[in-house]
Copies of this chain bind each other. A is one copy, B any other.
Amino acid sequence: MKRELVKILMDAEKGLFEDYWRISSEELPLGAEGWSIEKKRLRGGLQDGVDIVEVNNGRLSFTVVPTRGMGVWKGKFEGYPLGWESPVKIPVHPRHVRLEDRGGLGFLDGFNEWIVRCGLESNGAPGEDTIIDNMGNEKKVDLNLHGKIANIPADYVAVKIGLDPPYELSVVGTVCERSMFGANLCMASKISTNTGCNWISIEDLVENRRSTPWEMQLLYHCNYGSPFLEDGSKLVAAVRTVAPRDGRAEEGVRQWNAFGPPQPGFVEQVYFVEPVWDEDGRTRVMLTNKKGNKATSISFLRSELPYFTLWKCTSGLQDGYVVGLEPATNYPNRRKFERTKGRVVKLGAGKTYGAKILIEVHFGEPEVSKIEGQINKLQGGVKPTILGSSDRRFSE
Chain B CB within 8 A of A318 CB: yes
Chain B CB within 8 A of A124 CB: no
Q: Which residues of B contact A105 (CB under 8 A)?
A: 133-134, 139, 179, 181-182
Binary interface profile of A, 1-40, with partner B (CB < 8 Å = 1, else 0)?
A: 0000000001111011101000000000000000000000
Q: Which residues of B contact A11 (CB under 8 A)?
A: 44
Please state the number of chain copies in the assembly.
Answer: 3
Q: How far is the CA of A103 from the CA of B134 in the complex (A)?
A: 12
Q: Which residues 53-110 of A have a CB within 8 angstroms of B?
A: 86-90, 93-96, 98-103, 105, 108-109
- Please determine whether A316 and B267 come into contact, CB atoms closer than 8 angstroms: no
Chain B CB within 8 A of A184 CB: yes
- Please determine whether B109 and A179 come into contact, CB atoms closer than 8 angstroms: yes
Chain B CB within 8 A of A340 CB: no
Interface of chain A, helix or strand or loop or mixed? Answer: loop
Q: How far is the CA of A133 from the CA of B248 in the complex (A)?
A: 13
- Please determine whether A90 and B12 come into contact, CB atoms closer than 8 angstroms: yes
Q: Name A11's closest neighbour in chain B (CB-CB).
A: B44
- Please determine whether A88 and B211 come into contact, CB atoms closer than 8 angstroms: no
Q: Which of A90, A94, A178 has the most CB of B within 10 A?
A: A178
Chain B CB within 8 A of A45 CB: yes
Chain B CB within 8 A of A42 CB: yes
Chain B CB within 8 A of A315 CB: yes
Pick from B87, B133, B140, B178: contact of A88, CB below 8 A.
B178
Q: Which residues of B contact A86 (CB under 8 A)?
A: 180
Q: Which of A150-158, A193-201, A229-237, A282-290 contacts B (4 or more CB under 8 A)?
A: A150-158
- Please determine whether B12 and A180 come into contact, CB atoms closer than 8 angstroms: no
Chain B CB within 8 A of A278 CB: no
- Please determine whether B102 and A155 come into contact, CB atoms closer than 8 angstroms: no
Q: Which residues 242-287 of A have a CB within 8 angstroms of B?
A: 246, 248, 262, 264-265, 267-268
Q: Which of A109, A134, A265 has the most CB of B within 10 A?
A: A134
Q: Name A174's closest neighbour in chain B (CB-CB).
A: B45
- Please determine whether A184 and B264 come into contact, CB atoms closer than 8 angstroms: no
- Please determine whether B133 and A45 come into contact, CB atoms closer than 8 angstroms: no
Chain B CB within 8 A of A205 CB: no
Q: Which residues of B contact A134 (CB under 8 A)?
A: 105, 108, 268
Chain B CB within 8 A of A388 CB: no
- Please determine whether A182 and B349 come into contact, CB atoms closer than 8 angstroms: no
Knowing A48-B49, A136-B268, A139-B103, the reply to whether A211 touches B317 (Cβ < 8 A) is yes
Q: How far is the CA of A97 from the CA of B264 in the complex (A)?
A: 34
Pick from B51, B87, B262, B316: contact of A180, CB below 8 A.
B87
Chain B CB within 8 A of A360 CB: no
Q: Which residues of B contact A101 (CB under 8 A)?
A: 99-100
Chain B CB within 8 A of A209 CB: yes
Pick from B103, B178, B318: contact of A184, CB below 8 A.
B318
Chain B CB within 8 A of A390 CB: no
Q: Which residues of B contact A156 (CB under 8 A)?
A: 45
Q: Which residues of B contact A157 (CB under 8 A)?
A: 44
Task: Give 24 CB contacts A-B under 8 Å.
Answer: A10-B44, A11-B44, A12-B42, A15-B42, A15-B43, A44-B51, A46-B152, A46-B155, A48-B153, A86-B180, A87-B179, A90-B155, A94-B96, A95-B96, A96-B152, A98-B100, A105-B139, A105-B181, A105-B182, A108-B182, A134-B268, A181-B320, A210-B319, A211-B264
A interface, CB within 8 angstroms of B: 10-13, 15-17, 19, 42-49, 51, 86-90, 93-96, 98-103, 105, 108-109, 111-112, 131, 133-136, 139-142, 152-157, 176, 178-182, 184, 209-212, 246, 248, 262, 264-265, 267-268, 315-320, 349
8 closest A-B pairs by CB: A211-B316, A136-B267, A45-B155, A17-B43, A211-B264, A12-B45, A95-B95, A10-B44
